[in-house]
Structure 1
Amino acid sequence: MRKIKKLLLSLGLLLFVILLAGFIFINTLTPTYSGEKDLAGLAQEATVYFDQYGVPHIYADNEEDALRTLGYVHAQDRLWQMELLRRAGSGRLSEIFGELTLETDKFFLSLGIDEHNEEALANLDTSHPSIALSNAYLDGINQFIDEGPTPVEFYLTGLKKQKFVLKDVYNAVAYMGFTFNKGARDIVNTNLLQVLDTAHTNELFKNNPADEINIPVHRDSSISDLVAIQHKIKQALENLPIPEIYGSNSWVLAPEKTANGKVLFENDPHIAQAQPAVWYEAHLVTPTYEKYGYYLAGVPFPLLSHDRTMVHGFTMLANDDTNFYYEEQHPTDTTLYRYKEEWRKFEYVTKSILVKDMEAVSFQIKRTHRGPLVNANYANRTRVEGERLVSIHWLFTQFENKLIQGLYGINHASNIDEFSQSLPYIHAPGLNVMYGDNEGNVAWWGTAKLYRMPDSTSTKFILNGASGEDDPIEYLSFDKNPRSINPSSNYVYSANNQPDSTSGMYVPGYFANSSRRAGRIIDLLEAKKEGWTKDDMAKMANDITLRTGSDFMNSCLIELELKGLSDEQVAYLDIMKSWDGKFGLTSLGAVFFEKMEANVHLNLFSDEFSTNEEYNSYGAQLKLDKVFDNPLSLWWDDVRTNEEKETRKQIINKAFKDTWQQLKLELGQDYKTWTWDRVHYLEHDHPIGRVPSLKKYFTVGPFPSSGTSGTLNNQGFRTQDDGRYKVSSIPSTRRIVDFSDVENSISILPTGQSGNPLSKHYKDQAEMYVNGEFRKMMMNKNDIINNSLDILKFTPKE
């Protein structure tokens, strides 16, 4: 018995030692928010005050010291995110994730981001002040890599840390630039031309606003090759472990509209939900420079920022900066393609990708002067006989990359004129740049390299590459871009809506429905002519009214035939008649609206497609608003029936019955329990959280979530197999700057400042975010010192 007791005691002691060692090891991986550290390259001591949400307020003697310090503290909270972002654009994710991201790496390598940035760096003006500051920031990152704890993700994936270089900064912003553009819809539209007749496509594809358009005739293409292209691009983007950018809201109010006679500014870029959150907040202060900014991982200058003088933010312009072209290959020499009256040589580039747990994979990229072929031999598949080659032309790689210099310029401007001088450097991605200042100026610029196409040529389809007739005939100078500066309305706004015409043409692109978010912004700003406050702005940012929701339901209810409905259904109609279009957690109308709209769409469009897969691939992306208000539309006819022609009334009545049965199956028999919180939820996914056993440690949520796609609190979603809606895109920050009290401006992040799951700031804002709350963006030094939880001092290393 004594031996057993000794054995148990020994085992207990061993277990205690293992647990203690594990605890000590885990704690070594957490970020350091207090104490003292030596940092090489500093001219003077720098002090970092971390406020209660982990936002670093960096006080330094000069800007290089501030950027070097920023690099260190940014890396300790976001090194894993930095690693993913720099790898995405340069095609190096497969070193981490193996075969899962192989096609993603091939796609991004084929775009030529890496080579384009090499060329930009080779021609770089190294005397530009942005370069010294960028290198100081990178030096801070690299000192953390050398001396700081290794984030847990590196241990779990077996990845070794590597130093960061300037090219990584360029690759990171280029990757984010590609996720802004939605040009791949050109493939979907061209596929639709193979499936649908001309009468149906004409109704769908007229330009917005209505003007004449020649829809190209590409009905001689094999749909299988276009399916392959669409699948490849979709697969490349879906397997990215980093969020895509979808859209955004912003509005800026001039002094005439505000209670305190100073500019009020709001901005909330909409980005795919993910963990960590995309933005890192930091406040830098030197004797000559101050900026409170939102930073991308591994990028030294903030994309969103403000100080005591001015504020700026971005939304996605949604212009079409990616076009696809059919290329004609020589009938006997596969190394040649036709352009106008000559045969040109394809460019061939061989790349090798390191793949975890596999041999390195080599593949060949085939390019025209426009860009890579997206269905050439690097797709590792047998081409269909007669398949037409398609190239991709992305404006980002066609012009010199000066985005870093542009970001430096707008963050160092002292007035509106200096600010606008840096905007031409941002040629892609296309952005709506929103601006306000303490002098009372409000402004909006569309920044992009815009172009003019031949008359009536639509860029929303695959174009003719061989003839050259579908090439842009002119690239516009920046002074021709759309803009609005101090308008008579006393406000500017953007919700990814179609901008006004410029240079006698409308900007081609994939713009958001202006009757939803944009229309809601105008309604609210026009309803309250003056007296706006910061609280009003916050309430508006969290608005959950779908502007078109109640109108759609009322239109449906008018068409419903009461005969044959049950007492329950009739009672439920009263609920829907009084529904105000709000998507609150307890709303009874919200769920029925989403299901009803989806079923109207299905019953309206699906009969024109031969299979469910075909409808899901192409038909599901058709816009209901193009057809719904036209009772004479060809689309209302169900071609699968023998009846002469179905009517709008018949389709709507069928959709109502389908929706009722669907909700009874998914949510139960009692319609009084069909509330929005039961179906709509937000979960912040971490790439490592894809492993089921690790999900609870890395993924944040789920939380029931108010709002929906198209409300100002924009909560786009994807329907799950169980019928619930998992939020897929959200406001990546809600940010309000008030120049009457700039030191008390407010913001919020979806989860927290840190990307380190062991940090106390990993998810400390998550519940505040879903509740629509805000926190202060502190700028007053005494306020910062008094409210900081931690202080970290950096001293020059001997």
Structure 2
Amino acid sequence: MFKRIGVFLIAVLLICAAGVAIYLYGKQPQRQGLANLPGLQSPVNVHFDERGVPHIAAGSEPDAYRALGYVHAQDRLFQMEMLRRLARGELAAVLGSKLLPTDKLFRTLRIREQADWQVTHADHNSPAWQALQAYLEGINAYQLQAPGPVEFDLLGIEKRPFTAQDVYSVVGYMAYSFAAAFRTEPLLTYVRDTLGEPYLAIFDRSWNPNGALASQTLNAADWKSMAALARLSEQAVSNAGLPQMEGSNAWAISGQRTQSGKPLLAGDPHIRFSVPSVWYEAHLNAPGFELYGDYESLVPFALLGHNNDFAWTLTMFQNDDIDLIAETTNPDNPDEVWYQGHWVALKEEQQRIDVRDAESVVLRLRRSPHGPIINDALGENAPGRPIALWWSYLDGANPVVDAFYQLNRANTLDKARAAASLIKAPGLNVVYANAQGDIAWWAAAGLPKRGPQVTPDFILDGSTDQADKFGYYPFSANPHEENPARGYIVSANAQPVSPDGAVIPGYYNLSDRGQRLNQQLGLDGQWSIEKSKQLQLDTRTGYAQRVLQPLLPILRTAIEDPQQRQWLEGLAKWQGDYPLDSINATLFNQFLYDLNYGALHDELGDVMFQNLLATRVLDAALPRLAADEHSPWWKDRTQPGVQQRADVVVRAWNTSIAHLRDTLGNDSAQWQWGKAHHLTQMHPLGSQKLLAPLLNVGPYSVPGSHEVPNNFSAPLSAAPWSVTYGPSTRRVIDLAMPDKAVGILPVGQSGVPFNSHYQDQALPFVQGEYQALHFSPTDIARYTKSTLQLMPAPKVR
């Protein structure tokens, strides 16, 4: 009898396993055979290579975009759904009340209203609009025909058509993801108003009282509100598990400095890691148009691309296109603010947010003449005065979609410059090269004209005209270079110089990474794809020594233990390199955190200190702090005996050694960087314990750090470190042989769980490998693994 029961249970398990396998198989992309695609003018062949990249051969451009939408949706439909919900404030409806604060923030940002406005005012007869519509037709045709993704079933997501409003909303999200001002302006204003101007010295921020709030005009309730808002802006994207733009490397080298005699382009945009990753590779070929590009979900035009004639890549400009403006309310009517000499009523509306696991929530949204009241995201009873958001993205037309349609066809320097000039927000550095021999860079953004006395690093006073804008500078005044005499161009998120020498406000990255790239590119020798690959994987800069050098004499005097003195001298000789086997890298990063905590936390408190860790100004502040023994930050308000730089430095060293021993063991041989620095790429549902091993990718030990070219970046914290962002792709293109271009994605082409291309590039990526980007007809034929033929829908008789 027991034998029969055992056989029965085995049979049940086999049936269940077979059922699961059949279910998952039905969710997989179709990469061979025939499929109907309504709207096609003629059949389209889609050849999938060994990485799952579609090579689309169509009889017309509209058909190519329909096919792109179809195959893009096959691999990324859940990502498309999540991105539009994030941008339009609709995540809580499927993910529950945990995402309600994120929805409130994005509703308050007014991205959805701006997207609707953009669609209404777009030229619906333009080629770009027609291509966008064809792309959406492809997405919706696939969604209508195919079973929903596994995640749709898990979350109960009902299918809805994708629209042009969704496309423009995702562009708005992309613009928001650069917005460091949300975290930085409240922090700097808090430091100035509660600690005093001397504390600003490490941030290298001067201020003019005519363009900022007078000191002490924000009270405790205001700071509570602003601190919560800054924290929310940081957590909103990370909680959703979706990509966020962070930084980037790019360079273009003229033919006079390459082995091939033609320009060479390299780029690796730095974006928050996620599963799937941000980019979807596709090769489009139609009469008069061919491009191999990297596409963001729901954006029909490649944001990175190349063909036989030209290539381009992007880095983040990181210009300050946001002002936070404190409004003065009428004591007799809190719904009025002082604007241009009189009281003006706030415009108000209400929006309903659906929540999966709770009742719907009604959100009150207000708008002043300066922009939406951003702290409405915290709820109707949020403390503090109204803070308005001025954001160039919300200020009129922003034809960035048209810009990329044109950039996808920019086979001359003039066409590329004209396309870049259309980009208003987000600010982007466009780095370009063509087969004619040109190389160029344009800092593309609408740069607002602020008043001459305005310092936009701080919260501005809405009761004065200093918060007003006076239009935008012409594109010709933006930073740019075309065919410089040095023979190369570098872009790495450092602060650029405008043609007239004016300072462009922004929240730029450390200069060290760009300086390292510039140093290496400036060396004698001819450049090749192989040398550019080596530079993208470089893990060294001089940042660590900039921090350490002023502090080494202090530690040499204080440390007596022979083992610790050996570690210290190892740091003194260390070249700032981050290979997997480095012990110095681990010791330095732990010491950097403890030094930062020991000097700054007592003045800022928990909330503001956490906000500081999420800003870019911290990286540049730490070397200045280390070098200034008289900085007021060294005085510890909680410990009277800790009042000098030496006190904090020695305490930080001792704390670091103790933490590493407790965390990684007493044997310092176990303190290798690869044992403490890991990358796990997270799926939006990967925080669920049962789903994590099925959907997340990793962990992997990774080299690099946030201040080196191979930018695997973890937040400044105590060991061990979890990497959050880094290269979203690595691409190198030599325009003498564009069919030999190479690249790599962080996980894989497909976002469909259990697909063969879900994570097939993850291990090669962390190991620094590259793979071919097939472009020539011969290579496409050689590496085609399957072919899908998309057919026009049969005519109904």
* TM-score, normalised relative to structure 1: 0.94
In structure 2, the residue corresponding to 1:592 is in which secondary structure? helix
Match for 2:16 among 15, 18, 25?
A: 18
Establish whether residue 241 from structure 1 lines up as the match of residue 236 from structure 2.
no
Equivalent AA in structure 2 for residue 332 of structure 1: D
Counterparts in 2 of 1:350 and 1:212: CA distance versus 1, 3 Å: closer
Establish whether residue 454 from structure 1 lines up as the match of residue 433 from structure 2.
no
- Mapped partners of 1:108, 1:142: distance in 2: 25
Structure-to-structure mapping, 1:731-770, within 5 angstroms = 731-770=727-766
Q: Tell me what 1:221 maps to.
A: 218
Counterparts in 2 of 1:202 and 1:556: CA distance versus 1, 3 Å: closer
In structure 1, the residue corresponding to 2:329 is in which secondary structure? coil
Q: Tell me what 1:482 maps to.
A: 479
- Mapped partners of 1:143, 1:262: distance in 2: 42
Aligned residues: 786
Establish whether residue 577 from structure 1 lines up as the match of residue 575 from structure 2.
no
Counterparts in 2 of 1:221 and 1:212: CA distance versus 1, 3 Å: closer
Q: Tell me what 1:424 maps to.
A: 421
Q: Which moved more, 1:159-168 or 1:703-712?
A: 159-168
Q: Tell me what 2:554 maps to.
A: 559
- Mapped partners of 2:271, 2:456: distance in 1: 25
- Mapped partners of 2:478, 2:684: distance in 1: 39
In structure 1, the residue corresponding to 2:334 is in which secondary structure? coil
In structure 1, the residue corresponding to 2:326 is in which secondary structure? strand
Structure-to-structure mapping, 1:55-134, within 5 angstroms = 55-134=53-132
Pairwise CA distance, 1:481: 1.2
- Mapped partners of 2:120, 2:357: distance in 1: 34
- Mapped partners of 2:349, 2:167: distance in 1: 24
Pairwise CA distance, 1:630: 2.7
Equivalent AA in structure 2 for residue 347 of structure 1: K
- Mapped partners of 1:172, 1:520: distance in 2: 34
Counterparts in 2 of 1:615 and 1:401: CA distance versus 1, 3 Å: closer
Aligned 8 A contact 2:558 2:650 in 1: no
Aligned 8 A contact 2:227 2:607 in 1: no
Per-residue CA deviation, residues 480-514 of structure 1 (Å, 9 max, x unaligned), is 11111111111111111111134452111101121
Aligned 8 A contact 2:363 2:380 in 1: no
- Mapped partners of 1:699, 1:158: distance in 2: 21
Pairwise CA distance, 1:60: 1.0
- Mapped partners of 2:221, 2:323: distance in 1: 20
Match for 1:170 among 146, 168, 171?
A: 168
Pairwise CA distance, 1:219: 1.7
Establish whether residue 593 from structure 1 lines up as the match of residue 591 from structure 2.
no
Counterparts in 2 of 1:299 and 1:474: CA distance versus 1, 3 Å: closer
Counterparts in 2 of 1:652 and 1:357: CA distance versus 1, 3 Å: closer
Establish whether residue 354 from structure 1 lines up as the match of residue 350 from structure 2.
no
Q: Tell me what 1:340 maps to.
A: 340
Q: Which moved more, 1:71-80 or 1:407-416?
A: 407-416
Q: Which moved more, 1:410-419 or 1:299-308?
A: 410-419
Q: Tell me what 1:615 maps to.
A: 609
The alignment yields a C-alpha RMSD, in angstroms, of 2.2
Structure-to-structure mapping, 1:182-261, within 5 angstroms = 182-184=180-182, 185-206=184-205, 216-235=213-232, 236-261=236-261
Structure-to-structure mapping, 1:471-550, within 5 angstroms = 471-514=468-511, 516-526=512-522, 528-550=523-545
Pairwise CA distance, 1:382: 3.0
Pairwise CA distance, 1:587: 0.6
Structure-to-structure mapping, 1:274-353, within 5 angstroms = 274-353=274-353
Per-residue CA deviation, residues 592-625 of structure 1 (Å, 9 max, x unaligned), is 110112222223323434x444434448854212
In structure 2, the residue corresponding to 1:180 is in which secondary structure? coil
Q: Which moved more, 1:64-73 or 1:500-509?
A: 500-509
Pairwise CA distance, 1:6: 5.6
Q: Which moved more, 1:184-193 or 1:685-694?
A: 184-193
Q: Tell me what 1:409 maps to.
A: 406
- Mapped partners of 1:552, 1:268: distance in 2: 27
Aligned 8 A contact 1:562 1:570 in 2: no
- Mapped partners of 2:717, 2:591: distance in 1: 16
- Mapped partners of 1:142, 1:620: distance in 2: 38
Gaps of 5+ in 1: none
Pairwise CA distance, 1:640: 4.8
Gaps of 5+ in 2: none
- Mapped partners of 2:335, 2:210: distance in 1: 35
Aligned 8 A contact 1:92 1:105 in 2: yes
Q: Tell me what 2:379 maps to.
A: 380
Aligned 8 A contact 1:583 1:708 in 2: yes
Match for 1:149 among 147, 150, 172?
A: 147
Pairwise CA distance, 1:692: 0.3
- Mapped partners of 2:559, 2:761: distance in 1: 50
Equivalent AA in structure 1 for residue 89 of structure 2: G
- Mapped partners of 2:433, 2:653: distance in 1: 47
Match for 2:26 among 22, 25, 28?
A: 28
Task: State the percentage of identical aligned residues.
Answer: 31
Counterparts in 2 of 1:383 and 1:163: CA distance versus 1, 3 Å: closer
Q: Tell me what 2:768 maps to.
A: 772
Q: Which moved more, 1:748-757 or 1:623-632?
A: 623-632
- Mapped partners of 1:337, 1:632: distance in 2: 42
- Mapped partners of 1:54, 1:450: distance in 2: 40
- Mapped partners of 1:24, 1:250: distance in 2: 45
Aligned 8 A contact 1:586 1:677 in 2: yes
